[in-house]
Amino acid sequence: MGLTIALNRGRILKECLPLLKKAGIEPAEDIDSSRKLVFQSTKGNHRLVIMRGSDVPTYVEYGAADLGIVGKDTLLEYGSASGFYERLDLGIGACRLMTAAPKGVSLDKRSLTVATKFVNITRDYFERQGRQVSIIALSGALEIAPLMNLADCIVDIVDTGNTLKANGLEALEVITRISSRLIVNRASMKTRFDEVEAFIALLKAAL
């Protein structure tokens, strides 16, 4: 059996599949036209497993997957983990994690209410600034929160900024720049060292 690789579905998957192909690792079936979540590779007998990005670190940390490809934002939100190494910045899925608020609205007030999917990152960011915030966890469509007076501002991923503009918001402060990373289970790094290093070398060459 080859390596088991956990892949973040969505935009990251679309960008990492050509990279994996360049490294000689292709699914034996068309992922886009299939409802399956586990795919064998055409070479190397690897398994490609498609899942939510937030689940990738968990599968890798607990050894259900040997490796994973996931956004840095997910790793930061997941927090420190003893079960995997972050080995490679793939440079794909590039974007920024930013604060955003309605145009012309001042965020200088002493206490802010912030809507976000990234609760841990947001808390850490404002704590470092010494600011008191109330955080409201939402799972999507964050741009609505300030418009509905649920929050003063949001913390979200920003790519082009067009969605913010369309909803009367503007991007403000960059919290961190994001790209997709390769993570490796610590036990797999020891017990399957040669296979893992060969896979990483293929990815580096593809980059």
**What are the boundaries of each domain within the chain?**
4-93+179-206, 95-176
User: Do 95-176 and 4-93+179-206 fall under one CATH topology?
Assistant: yes
User: What confidence score (pLDDT) does residue 202 get?
Assistant: 93
Q: What CA–CA distances, in Å, run from 154 to 101, 122, 165, 171, 203? A: 6, 9, 14, 9, 35
User: What confidence score (pLDDT) does residue 1 get?
Assistant: 81
User: What confidence score (pLDDT) does residue 43 get?
Assistant: 85
Task: Find the helix or strand (DSSP H, E) in which 17 lies.
Answer: helix 11-22
User: Which CATH number does 4-93+179-206 carry?
Assistant: 3.40.190.10
| Average pLDDT value over all residues in the chain | 93
User: What confidence score (pLDDT) does residue 140 get?
Assistant: 86
User: Which CATH number does 95-176 carry?
Assistant: 3.40.190.10
User: What confidence score (pLDDT) does residue 176 get?
Assistant: 96
User: What confidence score (pLDDT) does residue 109 get?
Assistant: 75
pTM: 0.89
Task: Find the helix or strand (DSSP H, E) in which 203 lies.
Answer: helix 193-206
Segments in the chain below pLDDT 50: none
Per residue in 91-147, pLDDT (tens digit) is 998 999 999 999 988 888 778 999 999 999 999 999 998 888 999 999 989 999 999
Task: Find the helix or strand (DSSP H, E) in which 50 lies.
Answer: strand 47-51
User: What confidence score (pLDDT) does residue 91 get?
Assistant: 94
